[in-house]
Amino acid sequence: MKLGADMRRRTLGKAFVAAAAVALIPGCQSDDATVASGDGRGERGGVSGGRKSRPKSEAKISVHPAAGAKDVPLNAVVKVGVTDGTLTSVDIRDDDGTAVEGQFDAGKTMWTATQTLSGETTYQVKATATDAKGRTATVEQSFSTVVPTAVLGTDIVPLDGQTVGVGQPIVVKFTEPIKEELRPDLERRLVIECSKPAEGAWHWFNDEEVHYRPRRYWPENSTVTLRINTLGATNGDGAWGIKNKVKTFKIGRSVIFKVDLRKHQMQVYISGRLARTIPVTGGKKGRETRSGTKVVLERRTDIRFRNEAIAAPEEYDLIAPYGLRITWSGQVLHTADWPVAHHGRANVSHGCVGMNYENSEWVWEVAHAGEPVGSIGPSGSERAT
């Protein structure tokens, strides 16, 4: 009997252990299901903390230039876009940590940089977006820009802060020759603002120099600002603009010179009114003063004239106390006391327009560089304007 009781106790103990083992198996399966991924299929590897892994955002972010891009042109437009989502932030910074400015479109699906890139610079890009369910996507990458082989610079006339006449052209001379097909882009980068309405146009004199002239004249007593937005501009041969410039100059009162060598006189109009009529002498036969409209290039004092300079047969070495240069080839409005008997009567000079000391001093004082000078030659074939 005792043996039978022992047997029954051992049998019941085994049954209890087996039942407990069966009860534990569903419990282990329940723990696995608790850490399944968001797609419901479940994951057995890399499970941490018994938490569900969050489903991936459907928002897809794209960046131009591409990740790791090198030698990116300075005129490349940086863009960050997203599909199946909305951009929440875009942060692009250069080597110094300075942020690149840009703006979102209305739907915040595209961000576009509004400034030009700098040369030899690495830019770090970080962008975030959310999908329709509020899930976040993030992109972090970088790109680097081209190293310029030369700098595309500019020299500007008039000088910053200068006061000039109403006929003054704006002269922009580039340090590199500009290919013809690239010139329209350079013109668009030269922005002119005038405090009073003034129309005009650019004209290329050669592959390095472009001039802007007002259609008629600049409005007197106005202010002109030239913005030279050459940062990111190229001549196509490795030279790039590396910075922008701003030049501002003033237009003085209107002073216009009208020379009529048929009558041997020059009239000076100030702010539209005749201020003075001056007896003059112009170029004699064979040395006629050029007709047409020019502008004062510079104001000079104590100008020396010698016959050797123009290969004249007559010998002379003379000093003019006052003068206004109107051509680089040598035509000047200047003091000429030596032929004073011919002033208002005959043309006896070698091409310049001469007048007496008193009138030349007055002319010099009222004029700025850029004043228009209209000339009518002895034949009267062209009109002074």
Do the domain assignments include residue 385?
A: no
Judgement on whether residues 264 and 364 belong to the same structural domain of the protein: yes
Judgement on whether residues 282 and 269 belong to the same structural domain of the protein: yes
Residue 342 · residue 348 · CB < 8 Å? yes
Higher pLDDT, residue 101 or 28: 101
Cα dist. 127→60, 84, 112 in Å? 11, 15, 12
Percentage of the chain lying above the pLDDT 90 cut:
76
In which residue are the tokens 């005959």 written?
A: 346
Do the domain assignments include residue 51?
A: no
> At residue 57, does pLDDT exceed 60?
yes
d(CA 354, CA 336): 5
DSSP state of 162: -
CATH code: domain of residue 167:
2.60.40.3710
> At residue 232, does pLDDT exceed 50?
yes
Interval 188-205 mean pLDDT: 96
pTM beyond 0.85? no
Judgement on whether residues 358 and 266 belong to the same structural domain of the protein: yes
> At residue 82, does pLDDT exceed 80?
yes
pLDDT in tens, 338-354: 999 999 999 999 999 99
pLDDT band for 308, please (50, 70, 90 cuts).
confident
Do the domain assignments include residue 55?
A: no
Interval 40-62 mean pLDDT: 64
Residue 369: domain span: 255-376
Judgement on whether residues 96 and 190 belong to the same structural domain of the protein: no
Interval 189-199 mean pLDDT: 96
CATH code: domain of residue 94:
2.60.40.3780
Judgement on whether residues 242 and 158 belong to the same structural domain of the protein: yes
pLDDT at residue 19 in the model: 40
pLDDT at residue 380 in the model: 60
d(CA 78, CA 37): 36
DSSP state of 126: E
One-letter identity of residue 353: V
User: Which residue, of 127, 144, 161, is where some domain finishes?
Assistant: 144
Q: What does residue 92 show for φ and ψ, rounded to 5 degrees? A: -125, 125
Judgement on whether residues 343 and 364 belong to the same structural domain of the protein: yes
Cα dist. 141→46, 91, 123, 278 in Å? 27, 11, 9, 73
User: Which residue, of 93, 117, 144, is where some domain finishes?
Assistant: 144
Judgement on whether residues 225 and 319 belong to the same structural domain of the protein: no
> At residue 1, does pLDDT exceed 90?
no
pLDDT in tens, 136-193: 999 999 999 999 999 999 999 999 999 999 999 999 999 999 999 999 999 999 999 9
CATH code: domain of residue 314:
2.40.440.10
Percentage of the chain lying above the pLDDT 70 cut:
84
pLDDT in tens, 244-303: 999 999 999 999 999 999 999 999 999 999 999 999 999 999 889 989 999 999 999 999
User: Which residue, of 229, 251, 273, is where some domain finishes?
Assistant: 251
CA 20 to chain centre: 83
Higher pLDDT, residue 95 or 311: 95
